Amino acid sequence: MIDVQERPAPGPAEAPAWRHKDLLDTDVLSRADIDLVMETADAMLEVRSRPVAKVATLRGATVVTLFYEQSTRTRASFEVAAKAMGADVVNLTASGSSVVKGESLVDTVRTLEAIGADLLVMRHDRSGAPYLAAKNTKAGVINGGDGTHAHPTQALLDLFTMRRHLGALDGKKVVIVGDVLHSRVARSNVWSLLAAGANVTLCGPATLLPRTLASAGGEEGRVALTADLDRALVDADVVMALRIQKERQATGLIPSLREYINGYQVNATRLARAKPGALVMHPGPMNEGIEISPEAAHGLASVIEEQVANGVAVRMAVLYLMATARTK
Ligand code: NCD
C-alpha cells in the first residue's frame, strides 16, 4: 500500500500526470515527462534543504534495490531517496541472493513482487535485463544501469544539474567525450538532451564512437560525432567526460593510455576552447589524470559533486512519480 497523501511542498499538483509503469530508458520520455521530473525534483531539493530533510510521501511503500553489478553512488542515492520519503528499503545484491543458486531473473522478480515490492530498482551487466524484469512483474521497474545500454536516472540528474545552471537547454551545446561506445550514460543522455532541446556532440577515438547514434539527431543533425576534441569544444556550454569502461572493452580499442590522454583528456588547456564558464561534468567514478585532469575535476566550473547531490532529489522525484502512478 502506498500512502501518497502527504505531497512534497510545493507539489506539481496541476502538472500532467506520470503515465509510465517503468523507467527503463529516457527514449520514451516526452518533453512534458521530463519537465514533470525536473519540477518534482526542484520540490525534492527544497525538501532536502529542510532541517529535517524527510517527508512521509512513500510511507507504506517497499522499494527493493536489486544490483547484479557494482555500484556506489547509484545504489546509495536510491536508498537515501527512498528513505527520505519514508519507504521501506530492501537492498539485494546478486552475491547475497538466490541468483548464485541459479534462480532466474524472472523468478527473482516474481519472488520480490510476492513479498510486496512496489518499486524495483535494478542494475544488471546485461543490456536489456530490466526490460525482461519489467515484463514479468506488476512492480514498477527502474533501470539503474543495464550493460552498455541505458541509465535513465543518471541522464535525468545530469539534465537537472545543467538546467539549474543554464536554465532552459534549447540550443545549448553539450559535448560528451570518452568511451561513448560502452557508455549507458551517454546513450540515455542523448535522448533526454534532445527532448530538452539541446544539441549533442559525441567525441572520442573513432573506435569508441557508435556511428548509429548520429541518426538520433534527425535531419537537423542535432547529434554530431567527431574524433577531434579541440574542435568539438568550440562554443560548448557543457563538457561531460566519461570513464574508459575497461571492464566492457575488447582489447585494442585505444592505442595506449598515453595517446588517449593526449587526445581526449578534459583539462584546463582544452576547456579554454569552450564557452567561458562551461560546466564540467562526469557521472563518476572518475579516473583523475586519465579522462579528466584533477584541476578540471575540482575547478570552479566543475559541478561533479553537485551531480551526486542532485541525484538524490531526482531519484526522489522518480520514485514519487512512479509510486503515484501506481495508486491511480
Ligand atoms: C556510471 C555507470 O555505472 O553507468 N556510473 C554511475 O552510475 N554514476 C558510469 C561508469 O561506470 O563509468
Domain of residue 216 covers: 152-303
pLDDT digits (tens, 9 = 90+) for 80-104: 999 999 999 999 988 767 776 767 8
Q: What is the pLDDT of residue 117?
A: 97
Q: Using the mean position of ligand 1's atoms as its centre, give its distance from the Cα of residue 219 in Å.
A: 30
Residue bearing the bigger pLDDT, 195 or 96: 195
Q: What percent of the chain has pLDDT over 90?
A: 83
Same domain for 240 and 106, yes or no, is no
Closest CA to 232 of 306, 180, 192: 180
Contacts of 109 (CB under 8 A, 6+ apart): 66, 120, 133, 136, 137, 139, 141
Kindly state the cell numbers that stand for 163.
538546467
Q: What is the pLDDT of residue 197?
A: 97
Mean pLDDT, residues 156-161: 98
Same domain for 106 and 166, yes or no, is no
151 close to ligand 1 (CB < 6 Angstrom)? yes
**pLDDT confidence tier of residue 167, bands split at 50, 70 and 90:** very high
CA torsion sign for 53, 55, 58, 62 is: positive
Domain holding 254: CATH number? 3.40.50.1370
Mean pLDDT, residues 278-307: 97
What are the phi and psi torsion angles at 56 (to 5°)?
-105, 25
Same domain for 110 and 136, yes or no, is yes
Q: Give the C-alpha separation, 162 to 164, whole Å.
A: 5
147 close to ligand 1 (CB < 6 Angstrom)? no
Work out the burial of residue 323: count CB atoms within 10 Å of its CB; fewer than 13 is exposed, 13-18 middle, 19 or more buried. Answer: buried
14 has pLDDT over 70: no
Same domain for 113 and 197, yes or no, is no
Place of cell 589524470: 289
CA dihedral of residues 169, 170, 173, 177 (deg, nearest 10): 60
57 close to ligand 1 (CB < 6 Angstrom)? no
- Tell the residue nearest (CA) to atom 12 of ligand 1: 243
Q: What is the pLDDT of residue 9?
A: 46
**pLDDT confidence tier of residue 1, bands split at 50, 70 and 90:** very low
**pLDDT confidence tier of residue 229, bands split at 50, 70 and 90:** very high
- 0.85 surpassed by pTM: yes
261 has pLDDT over 80: yes
Same domain for 142 and 171, yes or no, is no
Closest CA to 82 of 323, 307, 327: 323
Parallel, antiparallel or unpaired: strands 88-93 and 140-146: unpaired
Domain count, the chain: 2
284 close to ligand 1 (CB < 6 Angstrom)? yes
Place of cell 541509465: 151
Q: What is the pLDDT of residue 328?
A: 59
Atom of ligand 1 nearest to the CA of 183: 4
Longest pairwise C-alpha distance within the chain: 57
Same domain for 47 and 139, yes or no, is yes
Same domain for 109 and 245, yes or no, is no
pLDDT digits (tens, 9 = 90+) for 110-155: 999 999 999 999 999 999 999 999 999 999 999 999 999 999 999 9
Q: Give the C-alpha separation, 16 to 19, whole Å.
A: 9
